[in-house]
Structure 1
Amino acid sequence: MPRAVAVSPDWHEVADLLPAAGSGRFLIGVTGAPGAGKSTLAAHLATSYGAGHVPMDGFHLADVELERRGLRDRKGAPETFDAWGYAALLARLRAQPDHDVLAPAFERDLEQPLAGAIAVPPDVGLVVTEGNYLLLDSPEWRAVRAQLDAVWHLRLDEDLRRARLLARHVAFGKSPAEAEAWVTRVDEPNAALVTAAADRADVVLDLSAP
């Protein structure tokens, strides 16, 4: 079973989970259901500890490919990501080459991935990657997990998580009704998959404290 850690709003408890400085490149995966706070934690690690941040969302399939596969209405589900490409990039990061490794980002205003948008320099020792599906038990996602030194699963009060998720969809252009429908039809089934895999994490970070 994963170790459980209650985390304060300032995230100071995560310092004890990080490797010692100078111990070589270390890759941390942060997972959790949609709206749990993965991007917020990744940003904290980047700001407070100089971590490189490579989000899984950069490996969204472009809409044109989703249309070709008949998956446009399931955007965000596990099968709508290039998980094998994601695993290959993580392997390059683990190797810590003597040059920048370029990773894709996800542009939320466009709802599309952007190739080569993130550079991870060779002197960055800590790299954090965050995404929903790092612990799924299928070949492509196991290949992703194999490249990570540790995976942290975030747990948040469900009502708060859903409220954050709805607000995010509205902020990026959906009407409240469209946001509610998308969360119910797409996000919540995905959340169930992520939560079911939580026992494969190394650490569960409980963010439900006031």
Structure 2
Amino acid sequence: MNAIIDELRAICPISTTGVDLAEHARDWWPLAMRWALQAQVPQLPSVVATPSTTDEVRRIVLACARHDTPLTVTAGRSGVSGASVPLFGGVVLDTTHLRGVVSVDRTSGIVEVLPGTFGPDLERAVNEHGLTVGHFPQSFDISTVGGWVACHGAGQFSTRYGKIHDMVVGLEVVLADGSVIRTGGAPAAAHGPD
């Protein structure tokens, strides 16, 4: 594990402190919370990596593949399904440093946002342009855009604005082999983004 930790240290900020590892070993999944409260977490990650660019994410993914090391991607860790619990240890890739609103096109309603952006930060940014995200899951204050997409999020206004998959126009994604793809194109219907 030391070899991959050294490699990750050259890519982005990392942490191997006990507090950070313990914090990144749980989300709000009831079983994970029980483990945490009873100090019986089955597996801690060995390292938490906090990239701030797509290229750093790509390099982390490639390093994990080269070293045959488990990789768990997290952000707000507000989920209740255990998806961000590193059950096999390894590396936790924390996307909360990949945050911010890149652009807001008021005419089309298209917003380019990074995955580690928390709900309130995104909503404030689009409100400045007279828009709303319209996506308000119960975890809004402690969840991120990437988490919404990864978990197929829905919220209080889903009957009006749709679920998160109804709102996404395109994605930039780092695949398990380190390749970066961009999805998207024309809208799925005649109404919505121009």
- TM-score > 0.5 by shorter chain: no
Provide TM-score, normalisation by structure 2: 0.28
Question: Max radius of gyration: which structure?
Answer: 2
Greater helix share, structure number:
1
Whose relative contact order is higher, 1 or 2, with alpha carbons under 8 Å and at least 6 apart? 1
Provide TM-score, normalisation by structure 1: 0.27
